[in-house]
């Protein structure tokens, strides 16, 4: 528990400093349903810096519903993120982000870098290109560093809210490409339907259909 004291003090200083320099919506309070039996609450604050930066904690819960939650094995994570400034043109928008995560109980940690580029193809269609790189260190396991790269392309229709996407991913642990394609439909504000086919590089492919909901305060 001693190793967590510096992180706790750091978070307290960050929160107090941000409160003193309050911007629009400085606090982050976002509940997330990760799966049918997993929930998480992300809490933190946007930092008073020239760049878009934020830090906080994420507490995870397990249970079939919000009224019957149990404590999982690894419930607490510390996180931080930084959005890097990137130039954009009239027909393209570029963003880059750096994020870090630290498991408060096991000491496992990860560093991620993401890059996104949006292109206007026609007044009706736009394209989004995403690259994601992450380094993971499993402190409680074999203590090896693994790297995963993921790239995706998405074509969006502004009039219908429909998007088609393709994604490829590979890690140093399994050394096998994982590819998937799918379609996503925006139904209402914050509600999306998705259907996709996974494991395209394997003999036995799998398909799935689902819905997601997101809301920010």
Domain chopping of the chain, boundaries: 86-213
| pLDDT tens-digit series, residues 179-196 | 999 999 988 877 889 999
| pLDDT tens-digit series, residues 67-88 | 555 555 456 889 999 988 766 5
Q: What is the mean pLDDT of residues 87-100?
A: 75
- Report the 10 Å Cβ neighbour count for 18: 21
Of 141, 136, 80, the residue nearest 106 (C-alpha):
141
Q: What is the pLDDT of residue 80?
A: 92
The model scores a pTM over 0.75: no
Residue ranges with strand state E in 47-91: 52-65, 68-70, 76-84
């Amino acid at each position: 528990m001693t190793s967590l004291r510096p992180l706790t003090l750091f978070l307290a200083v960050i929160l107090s400093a941000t409160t003193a320099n309050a911007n629009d919506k400085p606090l982050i309070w976002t509940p997330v349903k990760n799966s049918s039996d997993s929930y998480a609450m992300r809490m933190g604050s946007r930092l008073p810096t020239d760049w878009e930066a934020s830090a906080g904690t994420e507490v995870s819960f397990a249970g079939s519903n919000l009224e019957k939650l149990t404590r999982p094995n690894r419930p607490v994570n510390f996180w931080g993120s930084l959005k890097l400034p990137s130039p954009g043109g009239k027909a393209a928008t570029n963003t880059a982000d750096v994020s870090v995560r630290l498991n408060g109980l096991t000491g496992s940690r990860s560093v991620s870098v993401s890059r996104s580029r949006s292109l206007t193809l026609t007044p009706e269609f736009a394209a989004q290109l995403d690259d994601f790189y992450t380094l993971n260190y499993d402190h409680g396991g074999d203590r090896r560093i693994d790297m995963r790269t993921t790239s995706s392309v998405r074509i969006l229709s502004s009039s219908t809210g429909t998007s088609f996407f393709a994604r490829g991913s590979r890690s140093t642990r399994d050394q096998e490409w994982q590819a998937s394609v799918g379609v996503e439909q925006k139904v209402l504000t914050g509600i999306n339907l998705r259907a996709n086919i996974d494991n395209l590089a394997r003999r036995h492919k799998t398909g799935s259909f689902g819905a997601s909901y997101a809301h920010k305060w």
